[in-house]
Amino acid sequence: MDTRSKIIPLHEIQERLQDHAASWVSGHFDPLLAEHVGRLRQARQPGSLLVVEVTNPARPLLSQRARAELVAALSIVDYVVCGNGGSAADADLTARFIDHVLARHREESRLKEIQR
C-alpha cells in the first residue's frame, strides 16, 4: 500500500470521515521523533480514526510534504492533512530535539579539538 494515499486535502476530510469518530492531532513533526509516535499512539482511541494535521514551524528542517509522508507511513495514522495550525507541545519537542543535537555537536567538536 502506498501510504501517501493517506494524505488528503483539508477540504476532503469531512467527506472521508463521514460519521466515523475521529481524533485530531496537530503538530510540526519536524523532525518526526519517537516521542511524537508515542503521543500519536496515546491519541488513537479504539474504534475511531486518527487524523494528523502536519503544520509548518517558523523555520522547517523538512518540507511539509516530506513530513506528511513520514507521518502517513505510521500504521496508527488513518489520514494526514497539511494545515496551518500549530501545537505548543510539538514546538517544545522540536526545540528540545534541536538543543540536544546542538549540545551533542558541540561536545563532539570539543573532543576533536582535545584529540588534536
Provide the pLDDT for residue 98: 52
Return d(Cα 62, Cα 28) in angstroms, integer. Answer: 10
Q: Which of 70, 25, 27, 69 is nearest to 44 (CA)?
A: 25
Q: Report pTM.
A: 0.72
Q: What is the number of structural domains in the chain?
A: 1
Which range of residues forms the domain containing residue 89?
A: 3-115
Provide the pLDDT for residue 88: 46
Provide the pLDDT for residue 45: 86
pLDDT digits (tens, 9 = 90+) for 18-63: 888 888 988 999 999 999 999 999 988 888 899 999 999 888 999 9
Question: Higher confidence at residue 115 or residue 44?
Answer: 44
Give the type of residue at 4.
Answer: R
Return d(Cα 76, Cα 18) in angstroms, integer. Answer: 19
CATH of residue 24: 3.40.50
Report whether the peptide linkage leading into residue 9 is cis, meaning its omega lies within 30 degrees of zero: no
Query: Is the model's pLDDT at 4 over the cut of 90?
Result: no
